[in-house]
Amino acid sequence: MQARSVCSPSVQWWNALVVAGVAGCGRFGFDPRQVREVLDSPSVDAPIDAPSCTFGAWSAAGSLTALNSPQSDFGSQISADGLALYWQTNGDIHSSHRATRTAPWGAIATYPELLIAGGPDVDTSIRLGELEIYLSDTNNQCTYRATRATTADAWSIPAMVGTCDANKAVGPDVSLDGLTLYYSDTSGTNALGKLLASQRATTADDFTPGSQLPGIVDDGQKGWPFVTADGLALYYEGGYMGNAGTHRMFVATRSAASQPFGTPVLVPGLDSPANGNEEDLSLTEDQLEIFFSTEAPGGAGGFDLYSATRTCD
């Protein structure tokens, strides 16, 4: 582990990490409203002002045995605070909660009211307070949204989001402020596609068809994006070496939210060619815990939920 350091805005820290094989610089503890200001200001060309740290390497990934089932468990997303996890099993959306980041996961809740006609439901994105959820349906290949007044209430009937036009819009990931929707356009392919983002002025507006993420090549081999809360790292599942049938974990970074993403690389320390398929990545707001699904040998079912942690010094 490296000693604490502060990174220059101009340093391409991820490239340095890959070359040197050491920890990289990260930023956390920011205000989501500040993220919005950076995204909205064309003149800003600097990282979000927040404490810097050195991220350690990812720990060995561990199976979430209390949550995994004999069926495939995937499409997971962790809440910003790391205390709620949403995923799908056999076409149903589930969640589990824990009291602290080190506490065991609790009882599994199921939400039959989220079932979209034609289903099954997959790929959730949960908003702050767990009062708004975005999800995909594999039949219509579209993204839907549902809300509830309190976490004790049932979800509303999912309504189609405006990103679903003539193209397929799946794998939603909504920013902390609720103003940016990242998603996959899988039209023309049965496996992966390209990554897009749609922005709206207020959370009362609908999302409309977006545009391709800057810096990310459209090769039909990328899908199901997750952008960290500071907007500086993009995680996604991609076809490896042109093989869309084998999904691997990638990350691309940028030094400022106003800049395009850099060249994607395989997630160091976590991606493994032996696992076959690795999908549906999401991170906590502080970027110290990552969740994903994999078909690694020895699991409970087809796909299983896994997580890993790292430190910030």
Summarised one tens digit per residue, pLDDT across range 32-51 is: 433 333 333 333 333 344 55
At 288, list the tokens: 């110290």
Domains of the chain: 13-309 (2.115.10)
Element (H, E) at 40: helix 32-40
User: What's the pLDDT band for 245 if we cut at 50, 70, 90?
Assistant: low
Check residue 118 and give its pLDDT: 66
Rounded to whole angstroms, how far apart are CA atoms 308 and 57? 10
Residue of 210 and 219 predicted with greater confidence: 210
Model pTM score: 0.81
Contacts of 141 (CB under 8 A, 6+ apart): 164, 168, 169, 170, 186, 187
Rounded to whole angstroms, how far apart are CA atoms 164 and 186? 11
Contacts of 206 (CB under 8 A, 6+ apart): 161, 162, 200
At 27, list the tokens: 């930023």
Q: What is the DSSP letter of 100?
A: S
At 231, list the tokens: 């907007």
